[in-house]
Amino acid sequence: MTLPATLGEAVAALSAMPAAVPVAGGTDLMAAVNKGQLRPAGLVGLGRINEIRGWQYQDGHALLGAGLTHARMGRPDFAALIPALAAAARAAGPPQIRNAGTLGGNIVTAAPTGDSLPVLAALEADLVVAGPGGMREVPVTHLLAGRELLGPAELIGHVRVPLLHAPQVFLKATGRTGPGRATASVAVVLDPARRGVRCAVGAIAPMPLRPLEAERWIASLIDWDADRGLAPEALTAFGEYVAAACIPDPPGEEQLPPAVLHLRRTVAALARRALGRALS
Amino acid sequence: MSNDAATAIPAVDGPQGPQQEQPAHGLGASLPSADARAKTEGTFPYASDLWAEGLLWAAVLRSPHAHARVLSIDTSAAAGMPGVRTVVTHADVPGEATYGRTVADRPVFASDLVRHHGEAIAAVAADHPDTARLAAAAIAVEYEILDPVTDPEKAFAAPPLHPDGNLVRHIPLRYGDPDATGEVVVEGLYRIGRQDPAPIGAEAGLAVPRPDGGVDIYTASTDPHTDRDLAAACFGLGPEQVKVVVTGVPGATGDREDPGFQIPLGLLALRTGCPVKLAATREESFLGHAHRHPTLLRYRHHADADGRLVKVEAQILLDAGAYAEASSESLAAAVAFACGPYVVPHAFVEGWAVRTNNPPSGHVRGEGAMQVCAAYEAQMDKLAARLGLDPAELRLRNVLATGDILPTGQTVTCPAPVAELLQAVRDFPLPALPKDSPEDGWLLPGGPEGAGEPGAVRRGVGYALGMVHMLGAEGTDEVSTATVKVHDGMATVICAAVETGQGFSTLARQIVQDTLGIDEVHVASVDTDQPPAGPATHGRHTWVSGGAVERAAKMVRTQLLQPLAHKFGMSTELLQITDGKITSYDGVLSTTVTEALEGKELWATAQCRPHPTEPLDGAGQGDAFVGLAFCAIRAVVDVDVELGSVRVVEMAVAQDVGRVLNPAQLATRIEAGVTQGVGAALTENLRTARGLVRHPDLTGYALPTALDAPDIRIVKLVEERDVVAPFGAKAASAVPVVTSPAAVAAAVRSATGRPVNRLPIRPQAAVAAP
């Protein structure tokens, strides 16, 4: 186990020992190790790299360190910047997990139920990846969809997120009142400068889904120069539009199984509620 | 019964109960548990903390298939790995190849056939836990995968999964006139899921070989003598060559430790001659131990126009898993209590427990009774809806009382204050609606800052009545032996009753304090060199072991006081002991226990054996139960009827406890039982697909968290003493588990208008009726 102090040292350590695995919070990695599913030949601990534990501002964007913990992102100062990501971080599990688990870890684990993922997808975040060849930028959705992968000895250093200065909502449905994995989650962010609504649905597919048509349609109905209010019928229609886009009807006479129909109703209710809260 | 004999705990007092006068020691005191401090500080030694010099680590290879023929097992690669000391399979079991608490039908290691996912096939001892696990994974097993039988309805016609056949037990209960009919008939089909006991600590143990060729097993067993006998038979040793030493028990709501963990451990120790330790992973724990029986129930209730029950017809099918375990006993409880605590003139109940390739089922508290409670209470709700009656009123018209006859033909001779319990929860004020409190204090379904929307939340109220039996049923010889020793002003209790969290060791201290007036009481740790006390199930230790401790303490008291009484020419009854001082009724004599002992040690051993019971006969008739305990619960739930998320707001509990022996401990037992019941109602279901357990971890198996646990209001504890029980006290832990799921289901039914006939309640069943 090595404990580099900078991203550069971490990349060098990984290049020197290609079989080593980087570890930050360890909430997913160490569970797999304990289960015997993973036996890393070496570990490169990222916990001492101070440059990825905070955030900085860069032309209308926030450059979030990949080592930000969920607990840190849940705090009010962060919530004032990127409210939906803060809400997702607060919903991400019990305090022990939130204290250790990091933003970068949530992205590389890429679990369908990762709570930050639909928010990053809705924000159209970009990843700043550090590697032996220097820095490169990858849209988060490209990584989640497998269009671009992290190469050998590459690490997510930062996540570039636009600062939209507008309401954002993250909602998730779980099986219990206490912390639990999402059965479905929805992130809705408003982008008043571009007069856009962006929405992503998590947990129902291997990666977050973007209902682009529904976004464009509802954005065209919103009066961006006035109070941005919408009639309840429009909210309901948006919810159903989103749900139908993410869970389409099967072709022909086939019916969706009851559990999937319920999931679709859940997505519709979450999307309706999320947009309603964002606009209220 | 008048209210004078009942303790009403005001709702505002919370778990500590009323702040009224309470004795500081003895029965009725809220004596704290002796190990509470060590447990909260994390210094209490559990089995997984044990250590011995030079110990080896065990790992068990488990079947990845639910049903398969084992064609060959090649252990050579594993045995050749550096650090591996031995590998054992079925061929290395020196004694009996099979074991079982009721029927010896379960192999120690699968030999030719695996019958469930996670069945043990081989075990490895190595000098490091990772080496052991890698070696277990390196054992090459060739399987021929067979079609698993996972639907218990198909088990009847399926080819036998076991030489004993697929039918573990069938009870056709017939009581009354089969042709009786009622004016109103309601029917229903109910399904209950597979609850896991999910103990806080997974199975663990340490086996240490002895110089005489025997082995000592240190583990958190709840029935050490039975476990010792089963293990000794498989080791080919006499029971005296095996000793089970009970360590701290990290949670037990079912049977621990499963012999399926201990026997391989002991074998490895005997083979290697070294101490061997096993600490099961959570996944192994889920796969290896017994679960609550998944149950399918079909009911038809007949009632007259006033809502009085005329006849109940029921079919109950228990999924026993691959081995018999405690299924026969669970089925007896399910059939006997199929109609609930109601007077039913005619009852026809068919019960079956069948073998499948699903995970094993066995004893989890309230087994059998909990599944039928969910079904008969759903039927009562259906009947109330059909007749346009209030559900509580309909129940009150039918409740059982002392002197009534159960469908098994047994007369209820113990107190049965069912009507009083129901009235108590019905009359208790309902909790305030969230709209009356500040918005930021709301806890909606979905949790804090969750998706819950006030406009979509509906509140529902539901009632349930439940009953369980106490002690082993159907002719089980229930006996316990205890020894009390007094020396130097201090008393020691030696009894093999295991403290599982039910509070036996605290109760034993209270009993001795009460009888001998000695404050300092020590309860010895348990091993199988002591006389047997039986399993820690069905509230039996409060009854039989508590009774034995009381008798032994009384014998010591007589030994202590006899010489004094003789000297002063009075009977021992005229002397009393308080705070270590012996005084006579007239104050003439005053001495201390230490002085009266004159340096002697006093010992006494006594047994307690309640009156015998008889097995249910071919028509399900017989006096099968020693005693019964009852409970009434009113559940209040909030349901987000769009998402189907449910939050249980409050559970108001009224319970028939006989006598309160330790108020604080009783309250915690009821709260724990209700919480386990809420889990069974909403989230706890170990899911399988074609016999394979899908998520054997605590993320996939959602236990209630602190946010899911409702406000539990103990509205009333009816203290009507059961004259045949020592102290008049009844078992308190199981009946809230039995009753809570039915109450939550009833409340969700009232909130959503949906039938709710499946537990746990899935979100799609809790959305509003379209």
Q: Do the chains contact at B699 and A261, CB–CB below 8 Å?
A: no
Q: What distance in Å separates the CA atoms of residue B167 and residue B351, rounded to the nearest whole number?
A: 11
Going by C-beta distance under 8 Å and a sequence separation of 6 or more, which residues neighbour residue B406?
B336, B400, B412
- Give CB contacts under 8 A, 24+ apart, made by A162-165: A162/A60, A162/A61, A162/A123, A162/A124, A162/A125, A162/A191, A163/A57, A163/A60, A163/A61, A163/A62, A163/A81, A163/A82, A164/A123, A164/A189, A164/A190, A164/A191, A164/A192, A164/A193, A165/A192
| Residues in chain B within 8 Å Cβ distance of A34 | 281
Token readout for A183 is: 């059965």
Indicate the residue type of B78: A
Indicate the residue type of A152: P
pLDDT number for residue B770: 62
Indicate the residue type of B211: P
Q: What distance in Å separates the CA atoms of residue B136 and residue B385, rounded to the nearest whole number?
A: 57
Q: Do the chains contact at A174 and B447, CB–CB below 8 Å?
A: yes
* pLDDT value at B8 more than 70: no
pLDDT number for residue B497: 87
pLDDT band with cut points at 50, 70 and 90 for residue B9: very low
Cis peptide leading into B64, omega within 30 of 0? no
Q: Do the chains contact at A172 and B643, CB–CB below 8 Å?
A: no
Cα of B7 vs its chain's centroid, Å = 25
Q: What distance in Å separates the CA atoms of residue A78 and residue A238, rounded to the nearest whole number?
A: 29
Degrees to nearest 5, angle at CA B581 with B575 and B584: 25
Top residue of B449, B744, B761 to mutate, by most chain A CBs within 10 Å, is: B449
Instruction: Say which DSSP state B543 is in.
Output: I
Residue of A nearest to B281 (CA): A35
Closest CA relative to residue A182, chosen from B698, B587, B451: B451
Mean pLDDT of B187-194: 96
pLDDT band with cut points at 50, 70 and 90 for residue A128: very high
| Residues in chain A within 8 Å Cβ distance of B678 | none
pLDDT number for residue B250: 81
Mean pLDDT of B222-248: 91
Q: What distance in Å separates the CA atoms of residue B26 and residue B34, rounded to the nearest whole number?
A: 14
| Residues in chain B within 8 Å Cβ distance of A174 | 446-447, 450, 645
Phi, psi of A128 (to 5 degrees): -100, 110
Token readout for B235 is: 């080791």
Least confident of B191-195, B249-253, B304-308, B402-406: B249-253
Cα of B66 vs its chain's centroid, Å = 27
The answer to whether B613 touches B474, Cβ cutoff 8 Å, is yes
Beta bridge partners of B711: B650
Mean pLDDT of B77-88: 93
Give the tens place of pLDDT for each residue, B285-334: 899 888 999 999 999 999 999 999 999 999 999 999 999 888 999 999 99
Token readout for B181 is: 């009919």
**Longest C-alpha distance within chain A, in Å?**
60
**In chain A, ranges of CATH 3.30.390.50 domains:** 173-279
Task: Give the right CATH number for A1-46 from 3.10.20, 3.30.43, 2.60.40, 1.10.3470.
Answer: 3.30.43
- Three-state SS for B354? strand
Measure in Å the smallest separation between the Cα of A31 and chain B Cα atoms. 11
- Nearest CB among B451, B642, B702 relative to A265 is that of B642
Measure in Å the smallest separation between the Cα of A6 and chain B Cα atoms. 33
Closest CA relative to residue B167, chosen from B296, B330, B326, B356: B356
* Torsion (CA) A234, A235, A238, A242 in degrees, nearest 10: -170
- The total number of residues shown for chain B amounts to 770
Residues of chain B above pLDDT 90, percent: 60
Least confident of B19-28, B36-45, B543-552: B19-28
Residue of A nearest to B685 (CA): A175
pLDDT number for residue B704: 93
User: pTM value?
Assistant: 0.92
Q: What distance in Å separates the CA atoms of residue B666 and residue B243, rounded to the nearest whole number?
A: 33
Write down the architecture of domain A173-279 according to CATH: 2-Layer Sandwich (3.30)
Residues of chain B above pLDDT 70, percent: 97
Mean pLDDT of B509-513: 90
* CATH number of the structural domain B47-146+215-277: 3.90.1170.50
Token readout for A35 is: 């289960």
Alpha helices in B433-586 (DSSP H): 504-516, 540, 546-568
Going by C-beta distance under 8 Å and a sequence separation of 6 or more, which residues neighbour residue A216?
none
The answer to whether B493 touches B507, Cβ cutoff 8 Å, is no
Using the Cβ of B445 and the Cβ atoms of chain A, whether some distance falls under 8 Å is answered with yes
The answer to whether A49 touches A56, Cβ cutoff 8 Å, is no
Of residues A161 and B447, the one with the higher pLDDT is A161
- Nearest CB among A36, A177, A261 relative to B445 is that of A177
- Nearest CB among B702, B706, B764 relative to A259 is that of B764
Q: In what order do the strands lie in the sheet with B113-114?
A: B113-114, B68-74, B140-145
Going by C-beta distance under 8 Å and a sequence separation of 6 or more, which residues neighbour residue B576?
B517, B582, B583, B584, B585
- Nearest CB among A87, A90, A266 relative to B643 is that of A266
Measure in Å the smallest separation between the Cα of B448 and chain A Cα atoms. 8
Pairing of strands B711-718, B645-656: parallel
Pairing of strands A126-131, A155-162: antiparallel
pLDDT number for residue A251: 87
Measure in Å the smallest separation between the Cα of A63 and chain B Cα atoms. 26
- Nearest CB among B283, B704, B763 relative to A262 is that of B763
Of residues B588 and B676, the one with the higher pLDDT is B676
* Torsion (CA) B229, B232, B234, B237 in degrees, nearest 10: -140
Q: Do the chains contact at B706 and A258, CB–CB below 8 Å?
A: no
Q: What distance in Å separates the CA atoms of residue B293 and residue B762, rounded to the nearest whole number?
A: 18
Got the DSSP string for B188-233? EEEEE-------SS--EEEEEE-TTS-EEEEE--SSHHHHHHHHHH
DSSP E strand stretches across B38-182: 56-62, 68-74, 84-88, 98-99, 106-107, 113-114, 120-126, 140-145, 167-175
Measure in Å the smallest separation between the Cα of A206 and chain B Cα atoms. 17
Of residues B427 and B769, the one with the higher pLDDT is B427
The answer to whether B219 touches B262, Cβ cutoff 8 Å, is yes
Least confident of B123-132, B162-171, B527-536: B527-536
Least confident of A69-83, B251-265, B396-410: B251-265
Measure in Å the smallest separation between the Cα of B86 and chain A Cα atoms. 21
**In chain A, ranges of CATH 3.30.43 domains:** 1-46
Closest CA relative to residue B167, chosen from B327, B391, B387: B327
ipTM over 0.95? The verdict is no
Degrees to nearest 5, angle at CA B671 with B668 and B672: 85
Top residue of B57, B282, B643 to mutate, by most chain A CBs within 10 Å, is: B643
pLDDT number for residue A3: 92
Measure in Å the smallest separation between the Cα of A26 and chain B Cα atoms. 16
Using the Cβ of B707 and the Cβ atoms of chain A, whether some distance falls under 8 Å is answered with yes
Closest CA relative to residue B491, chosen from B622, B581, B580: B580
Write down the architecture of domain B479-608 according to CATH: 2-Layer Sandwich (3.30)
Q: What distance in Å separates the CA atoms of residue B511 and residue B513, rounded to the nearest whole number?
A: 5
Residue of B nearest to A172 (CA): B451
Q: Do the chains contact at A269 and B642, CB–CB below 8 Å?
A: yes
Least confident of A103-117, A150-164, A177-191, B586-600: B586-600
| Residues in chain A within 8 Å Cβ distance of B647 | 177
pLDDT number for residue B21: 63
**Residue boundaries of the structural domains of chain B:** 47-146+215-277, 295-473+615-765, 479-608
pLDDT band with cut points at 50, 70 and 90 for residue B13: very low
Going by C-beta distance under 8 Å and a sequence separation of 6 or more, which residues neighbour residue B440?
none
Least confident of A253-267, B579-593, B621-635: B579-593
Mean pLDDT of B640-662: 93
| Average pLDDT over chain B, rounded to an integer | 89
Q: What distance in Å separates the CA atoms of residue B356 and residue B364, rounded to the nearest whole number?
A: 19
Q: Do the chains contact at A262 and B767, CB–CB below 8 Å?
A: yes
The answer to whether B539 touches B730, Cβ cutoff 8 Å, is yes
Token readout for B35 is: 């190990």
Mean pLDDT of A2-6: 92
Q: What distance in Å separates the CA atoms of residue B732 and residue B736, rounded to the nearest whole number?
A: 8
Q: Do the chains contact at B450 and A91, CB–CB below 8 Å?
A: yes
pLDDT band with cut points at 50, 70 and 90 for residue A228: confident
Give the helix/strand (H/E) hosting B689. Answer: strand B688-689
Mean pLDDT of B489-499: 88
Using the Cβ of B38 and the Cβ atoms of chain A, whether some distance falls under 8 Å is answered with no
Going by C-beta distance under 8 Å and a sequence separation of 6 or more, which residues neighbour residue B92?
B267, B271
Mean pLDDT of B116-128: 94
Residue of A nearest to B455 (CA): A273
Q: Do the chains contact at B704 and A176, CB–CB below 8 Å?
A: yes
Got the DSSP string for chain A? -B--SSHHHHHHHHHH-TTEEEESS-TTHHHHHHTTS---SEEEE-TT-GGGSSEEEETTEEEEETT-BHHHHTSHHHHHH-HHHHHHHHTSS-HHHHHH-BHHHHHHH--TT-THHHHHHHHT-EEEEEETTEEEEEEHHHHHHTSS---TT-EEEEEEEE---S-EEEEEEESSSSS--EEEEEEEEEEGGGTEEEEEEESSSSS-B--HHHHHHHHHHS-TTTT----HHHHHHHHHHHHHHHSPPPSTT----HHHHHHHHHHHHHHHHHHHHHH-
| Residues in chain A within 8 Å Cβ distance of B447 | 174, 176-179
| Residues in chain B within 8 Å Cβ distance of A202 | none
Closest CA relative to residue B10, chosen from B713, B664, B631, B672: B713
- Nearest CB among B446, B706, B708 relative to A173 is that of B446
- Nearest CB among B451, B699, B705 relative to A181 is that of B699
Write down the architecture of domain B295-473+615-765 according to CATH: 2-Layer Sandwich (3.30)
pLDDT number for residue B10: 41
Tell me if domain B295-473+615-765 and domain B479-608 are identical in fold. yes
Dihedral sign (CA B16, B18, B23, B27) = negative
A→B contacts (Cβ < 8 Å), by residue, are 34-36, 87, 90-91, 94, 171-181, 183, 258-259, 261-262, 265-266, 269-270, 273
Token readout for B429 is: 């004020």
| Residues in chain B within 8 Å Cβ distance of A265 | 642, 767
Q: Angle A258-279/A232-246 helices, nearest 10 degrees?
A: 140
| Residues in chain B within 8 Å Cβ distance of A91 | 449-450
Give the tens place of pLDDT for each residue, B314-328: 999 999 999 988 899
- Nearest CB among A175, A258, A273 relative to B453 is that of A273
Residue of A nearest to B450 (CA): A171
- Nearest CB among B281, B283, B708 relative to A178 is that of B708
